[in-house]
């Protein structure tokens, strides 16, 4: 289903409204108070009110009233009487100074609104007899984005109960915007319109899955507007605009891509397409143009497997104090501690892992050059005097007080994960890599490990690290992973498990053509020539073996690059906070 609903009205009407900053940045962060650029507020409001001069409009977290101003102006343009406008606009906020400021701005503009100081989750929906607020034609605004760790248990329970009353069960990890969105929709008339700013994680995070399902069942039409550039300077979050209307279930969304808020106002929307939605899972691939998205879904479903069909990604050891528990051989010898007190590990970090494998020879080399190649893991009954001395040094440094040490007995014996067949680098600037582990060493939590299933052990270890360097897997990583601080792509074990990697039959066929050139490609990778290696793997795996046309392979490579550049570029905010 496709709708054409994005009708931004007029010019930038109140671009000069200054941002109101009544409290400190920290206090604002705690309230989730990052204010919407007027061009965005105006665009959402104009759409939500459409041509209805009698529209009742609610902003559930109105702050200094940027949406209410936009709504008042729109209603006035449509011919509403000033007295009626005041009765038709409702704004809620917990923060009195923000409401005062909203009142002042409205007055300056000869407008009025009903402003209520209240926690929105305590405002009954109009379905209740004792409700203070009537059914609404439009619900607009920018919900606070406060992570679950930052608000209290009671507030969280209230929010979850409000969402549950609308039929949405959220888990305890949900950030504040999620229940707020659901509760806000409880105020809409059946044909009403919801137009809100939402964090882009709406599309990607696990806890928002009930929201994604609910959007599909609750609304008849859902539109998403994505920005190519960050719109909120200090919120660090990428946003989407959620524009939904009607009651009923929709099986497709309309997606719009714009560069920034100004482009919204100029209505230079350059890309719209219908998308068939997955029943569950993430929707990050909606960010891609339709043809790339469809091609990716087809190839990854038909010719690729999930990584966990080879083996399950697992977390590495969390020691609680790597500086103490991960030792160089020099330190071990200084304390005269026997090797038996240790397990060999790949040293913390991933910088030493540039190639396709980590071998025993590389481990020995790191050992000689001062790498922290040992993990302290003594027999709990050890009587070693040398160990006692080392532990006393740790006690003097306060190591036993580290959280992880306080929850295990004895504190000085970190758990050790079984030696994995593959390493999986899960924090990546460019893309996650699989590395064959033939060193006999285990890992700390700077990497995940994968123990391969028996049937695919040899093929998986020999071939997968090279053959995973293809454009479909790289695009899959951008889609399945999450963008972390500094543009880093992060994949938790659950996300890594779903990474599309070539299925065993195609791996075997491609490996028979590439195995002789492994050493050369490994050397190229170590020199940093990864783009050349990916090109070569694409040529053999995707074109020769899978018989994908060259244009399709180029499209996948460009789609992966598009998402990678988007991810890394969005860490540098451009627009100013309004
Ligand atoms: C992201 S700001 C949006 C403000 C304004 N609508 C805008 O876009 O500029 C979120 C606002 O929500 C308010 N807020 C946070 N939690 C709230 C709650 N539970 N009920 C009502 N308002 C809340 C904050 O005080 C803040 O003003």
Lowest mean pLDDT across 24-28, 61-65, 294-298, 441-445? 24-28
- Name the residue at shortest CA distance from atom 2 of ligand 1: 33
CA dihedral of residues 534, 536, 540, 543 (deg, nearest 10):
70
| CA–CA dist 496, 128 (Å, integer) | 45
**CA-62 nearest atom, ligand 1:** 6
560 Cα: distance to centroid of ligand 1 (angstroms): 36
Q: How confident is the model at residue 292 (pLDDT cuts 50, 70, 90)?
A: confident
Evaluate the omega torsion of the peptide bond into residue 250 and state whether it is cis, within 30 degrees of 0. no
Lowest mean pLDDT across 26-35, 158-167, 329-338, 357-366? 26-35
Lowest mean pLDDT across 316-325, 437-446, 483-492? 483-492
393 Cα: distance to centroid of ligand 1 (angstroms): 50
Q: Ligand 1: does its nearest atom lie under 6 Å from the Cβ of 32?
A: yes
Q: How wide is the angle at C-alpha 306 spanned by C-alphas 462 and 208, nearest 5°? A: 140
Per residue in 529-538, pLDDT (tens digit) is 999 999 999 9
When mean pLDDT is compared over 7-21, 71-85, 319-333, 555-569, the highest value belongs to: 319-333
Q: How many CB atoms lie within 10 A of CB 289?
A: 15
Per residue in 134-145, pLDDT (tens digit) is 999 999 999 998
Q: How confident is the model at residue 8 (pLDDT cuts 50, 70, 90)?
A: very low
* Token reading at 452: 């391969």
Q: Ligand 1: does its nearest atom lie under 6 Å from the Cβ of 34?
A: yes
Q: Residue 203 above 90 pLDDT?
A: no
Per residue in 357-398, pLDDT (tens digit) is 999 999 999 999 999 999 999 999 999 999 999 999 999 999
- Name the residue at shortest CA distance from atom 19 of ligand 1: 119
What does the DSSP assignment read for 402-434?
Answer: SHHHHTSSSTT----PPPPSEEE--EESS---E
Residue 375 phi, psi (nearest 5): -110, 125
Q: Ligand 1: does its nearest atom lie under 6 Å from the Cβ of 62?
A: yes
Q: Ligand 1: does its nearest atom lie under 6 Å from the Cβ of 63?
A: yes
* Token reading at 297: 């879904």
Per residue in 104-142, pLDDT (tens digit) is 999 999 999 999 999 999 999 998 888 899 999 999 999
Q: Ligand 1: does its nearest atom lie under 6 Å from the Cβ of 101?
A: no
- Name the residue at shortest CA distance from atom 7 of ligand 1: 35
Kindly list the distances between the CA atom of residue 52 and the CA atoms of 43, 188, 235, in Å, as whole numbers in the listed order: 15, 15, 33
């Amino acid at each position: 289903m496709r709708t054409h609903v994005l009708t931004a009205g007029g010019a930038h009407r109140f671009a000069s409204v200054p941002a109101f900053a009544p409290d400190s940045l920290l206090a604002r962060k705690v309230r989730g108070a990052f204010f919407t650029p007027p061009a965005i507020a105006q665009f959402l409001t104009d759409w939500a009110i459409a041509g209805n001069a009698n529209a009742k409009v609610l902003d559930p977290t109105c702050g200094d009233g940027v949406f209410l101003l936009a709504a008042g102006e729109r209603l006035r343009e449509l011919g509403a009487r000033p007295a009626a406008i005041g009765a038709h606009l409702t704004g809620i906020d917990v923060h009195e100074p923000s409401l005062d400021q909203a009142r002042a701005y409205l007055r300056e503009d000869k407008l009025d609104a009903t402003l209520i100081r209240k926690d929105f989750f305590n405002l009954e929906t109009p379905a209740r007899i004792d409700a203070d607020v009537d059914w609404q034609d439009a619900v607009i605004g920018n919900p606070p984005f406060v992570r679950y760790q930052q608000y209290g248990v009671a507030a969280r329970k209230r929010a979850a109960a409000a969402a549950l009353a609308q039929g949405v069960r959220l888990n305890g990890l949900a950030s504040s915007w999620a229940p707020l969105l659901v509760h806000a929709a409880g105020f809409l008339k059946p044909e009403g319109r919801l137009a809100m700013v939402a964090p882009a994680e709406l599309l990607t995070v696990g806890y928002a899955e009930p929201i994604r399902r609910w959007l599909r069942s609750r609304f008849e039409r859902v539109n998403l507007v994505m920005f190519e550039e960050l719109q909120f300077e200090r919120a660090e979050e990428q946003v989407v605009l959620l524009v939904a209307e009607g009651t009923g279930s929709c099986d497709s969304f309309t997606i719009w891509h714009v560069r920034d808020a100004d482009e919204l106002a100029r209505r230079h929307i350059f890309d719209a397409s219908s998308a068939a939605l997955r029943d569950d899972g993430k929707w990050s691939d909606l960010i891609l143009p339709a043809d790339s998205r469809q091609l990716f879904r087809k190839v990854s479903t038909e010719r690729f497997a999930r990584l966990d069909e080879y083996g399950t990604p697992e977390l590495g050891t969390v020691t609680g104090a790597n500086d103490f528990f991960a030792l160089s051989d020099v330190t071990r010898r200084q304390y005269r501690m026997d090797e038996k007190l240790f397990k060999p590990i790949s040293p913390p970090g991933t910088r030493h892992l540039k190639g396709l494998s980590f071998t025993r020879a590389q481990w020995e080399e790191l050992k000689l050059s001062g790498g922290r190649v040992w993990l302290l893991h003594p027999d709990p009954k050890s009587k070693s005097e040398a160990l006692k001395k080392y532990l006393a040094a740790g006690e003097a440094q306060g190591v036993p007080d580290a959280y992880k040490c306080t929850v295990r007995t004895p504190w000085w014996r970190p758990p050790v994960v079984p030696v994995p067949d593959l390493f999986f680098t899960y924090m990546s600037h460019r893309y996650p890599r699989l590395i064959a582990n033939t060193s006999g060493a285990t890992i700390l939590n700077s990497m995940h490990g994968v123990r391969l299933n028996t049937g695919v052990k040899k093929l998986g270890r020999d071939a997968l690290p090279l053959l995973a360097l293809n454009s479909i897997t790289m695009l899959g990583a951008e889609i399945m992973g999450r963008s972390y601080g500094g543009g880093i792509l992060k994949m938790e074990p659950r996300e890594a498990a779903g990474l599309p990697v070539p299925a065993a039959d195609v791996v075997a066929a491609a490996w028979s053509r590439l195995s002789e050139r492994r050493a050369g490609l490994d050397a190229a990778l170590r020199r940093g020539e990864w783009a050349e290696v990916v090109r070569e793997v694409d040529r053999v795996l995707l074109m020769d073996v899978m018989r994908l046309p060259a244009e399709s392979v180029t499209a996948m490579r460009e789609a992966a690059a598009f998402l990678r550049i988007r991810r890394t570029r969005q860490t540098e905010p451009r627009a100013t906070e309004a």
